[in-house]
Structure 1
Amino acid sequence: MLHRTAGALALLTSLVSTAACGADALPTAPSTSRASSPIVAVLGDSLSVSPSREASFPAVLQRRLEAEGLKWRVVNAGRYGDTTAQGLARLDDVLRERPAVLILALGANDGLNGVPVAIVRRQLDEIIRTSRSHGARVLLCGMETPPFHGWDYSLAFHAIYPDLAAFYDLPLVPFLLAGVFGDFDLNQPDMIHPNAAGAQRIADTVWPFLEPMVRVESLTAAR
């Protein structure tokens, strides 16, 4: 148990060092066979592009959609080290893809860096409002942060996500890393990023919230 706890703290501490890392925000152009499909965009950080774009949880969701006969295209707009501020700064680029659904999976790096809760909340709020004004339905993914900045901070940070979900009546994944955080079998050797099995577990966590959203959109488009 002590080894698992130490690994979990190492995971959270080390994520701070990814803030300076960069990666392409969007994948290469889609194949023509899916070019006209409705889009699910994932706006996230390193958790959205690990262990690789091909094996990440958005890629798993793409395969799940195809297996279910749902003709959607997943655009992985995850970037290593991104904070809510950085996600907001490139939101316009993501919205140019005209997603019908936006999976908002940001905030982990803000919490680790101790960004004031009011600022994190304001930036997530702006991402939500802007995305909705462009016609995207938002699936909010909850994040947690350890008490490196005090328990009051951790508790206030936790409340950001259910509060925003309630205010905007959004579907909420309570914790993106449920079942993955701190598990050596589901993370890469660095205990920072999920491995392929961890990405599959994250996709399994997200899917029950995403599925009704894409099915409703598909039915609406078919009418």
Structure 2
Amino acid sequence: MFRRTALFAAALAVLMVPFMTAPQAAPNGPVKLVALGDSLTAGYRLPADAAFPTVLERLLKAKGEDVTVSNAGVSGDTATGGLDRVDWSVPDGTAGVILELGANDMLRGTDPKVTEGALSAIIERLKARGIPVLLAGMQAAPNLGPDFKARFDAIFPALAERYGLTLYPFFLDGIVGDRAQHLDDMIHPNRQGVETIAARMLPTVDSFLDRIRQAPVR
């Protein structure tokens, strides 16, 4: 009886070894990012291959990154509009979100408190799902007045500090005022403008990906 029990215990121990010592399997497939934004993300009046998410994905893959960047940009969207659709625009399995909203709020003169509240709610929704956020900042046009500009421009660094986000301070950095990088409306980037935006943001996205990979598995 003792011999039979000992043999059973030894067999059980052998069977349990793979479960006790095998490392966690590496996640399969690419890191899935979603770019949640307005027309600047969507690629207003541009072919699909020239939109920001597609260009950014191409630049990342050229560096050897196994990453996809889905385009969840909607032209004309405000921060409140983004909040209304965040749950279905960011599917399960998303590893991180590039949040680019607020430009239309600024152009409409929306109270910065409203914009900040909507962006904060988006971030909290994503945080509750364990999805990190890279926040792409926006700056108000000077003709809206110094008070509005100061209040609006402060939204993005304040949110990044409050929630510990990766921040890219100004989405349009490097193209503002340059006719060669804008469509004829001088608001939206053309193909070259998008290339500039994506290339300038690339180091920040690299840092964001490092944060995603280093985060504990939920």
Taking structure 2 as the reference length, the TM-score comes to 0.80
- Structure 1 counterpart of 2:31, from 29, 38, 45: 38
By how many angstroms is 1:218 displaced? Answer: 4.2
Instruction: Give the match for residue 98 of structure 1.
Output: 93
Equivalent pair of 2:59/2:199 in contact (CA under 8 Å): no
Gapped runs of 5+ residues in structure 2? Answer: 1-27
Asked if the contact 2:133–2:165 (Cα under 8 Å) also holds between the matched residues in 1, the reply is yes
The alignment partner of 2:56 has SS state of helix
Q: Does 1:157 align with 2:152?
A: yes
RCO higher in 1 or 2 (8 Å CA, sep ≥ 6)? Answer: 1
> Are positions 1:204 and 2:191 aligned together?
no
Give 1:104 deviation, angstroms: 0.5
Amino acid at match of 2:41: S
Within the alignment, does 1:121 sit opposite 2:95 as a pair?
no
CA gap 1:127/1:190 in 2 versus in 1, 3 angstroms: same
Contact 1:176/1:205 (<8 A) preserved: no
1:215 CA drift (Å):
3.4
* Structure 1 segments of 4+ aligned residues over 3 angstroms from their partners: 215-222
Q: How many residues align?
A: 188
What is the rounded CA distance, in whole Å, between the counterparts of 1:143 and 1:85 in structure 2? 16
1:15 alignment partner in structure 2: none
Change (3 A) 1:127 1:220: closer
Cα distance in 2, alignment partners of residues 46 and 40 from structure 1:
18
Please state how far the C-alpha of 1:98 moved relative to its aligned partner: 2.9
- Amino acid corresponding to residue 149 of structure 2 in structure 1: S
Match of 1:32 in 2: none
Q: Deviations over 1:38-71 (max 9, x none)?
A: 2110011111122233111211111112112211
Match of 1:109 among 104, 123, 128: 104
Aligned alpha-carbon RMSD (Å): 1.9
Q: Find 1:143's aligned residue among 120, 125, 138.
A: 138
Q: Deviations over 1:69-103 (max 9, x none)?
A: 21111111011111001111110112224311100
For the 8 Å contact 1:138–1:171, the answer to whether it is kept is: yes
What is the deviation of 1:196? 1.1
> Which residue of 1 is the match for residue 56 of structure 2?
61
d(CA) in 2 for partners of 1:52, 1:163: 34
Deviation at 1:179, TM superposition (A): 1.2
Q: For residues 64 and 218 of structure 1, what CA distance do their matches in structure 2 show?
A: 19
Q: Which residue of 2 aligns with 1:86?
A: 81
1:131–1:137 CA contact under 8 A, matched in 2: yes
Higher mean C-alpha displacement, 81-90 vs 182-191 = 182-191
C-alpha contact 1:103 1:140 (8 A) present in aligned 2: yes
| Cα pair distance change 1:203/1:150, threshold 3 Å | same
Is residue 2:72 matched to residue 1:71? no
Q: Which amino acid letter does the alignment assign opposite residue 92 of structure 1?
A: D
1:132 aligns with 2:111: no
| SS of equivalent to 2:184 | coil
